[in-house]
Amino acid sequence: MPAEYRRRASLGLNLTPLIDIVLLLLVFFMLTAHFVEERALDVDLPQAQAGAAGQDVPQAEIVIGADGRLQVNDRPVAPEELEATLRRILHAPGPKSVRLRADRQSQLEPAVQAMDAARRAGARSLDIVTRRP
């Protein structure tokens, strides 16, 4: 009987090498992963008590820094080139929506100019991003 018991016990699948390989692959991918650095402006968003959560992904995102610098989709843009840049981006098929993120310390004029440029460029919707209290 001891020989028969040994035979049944050795028929099981040994998962230890498989678990070792999976853990090694996990460590490999964690060490070689390329983490994306955000090149966006540091923007302190204003607060809003009520608002809707954005569901669609905009084609263009305009960021206005506290010093008035503009970025469209994480690329610096001069104010006089904003409309042309938005027109190029909104020309592609898609939802034709623009999201505006402005620092709470920024002046109102760059935000109004950005909204005006987005409308002239063909944006069908314009969302202003705020943070929840």
Lowest-pLDDT range of 29-43, 47-61, 118-132: 47-61
pTM (2 decimals)? 0.58
How many angstroms separate the Cα of 86 from the Cα of each of 15, 45, 74, 111? 55, 22, 13, 14
Handedness of CA 17, 19, 23, 25 (dihedral sign): positive
Alpha-carbon span 71 to 63, nearest angstrom: 5
Fold (CATH) for 60-128: Nucleotidyltransferase; domain 5 (3.30.420)
Q: Can you give the residue ranges of every domain in the chain?
A: 2-32, 60-128
pLDDT > 80? residue 108:
yes
Taking only the tens place, the pLDDT of each residue in 48-60 is: 665 555 555 667 8
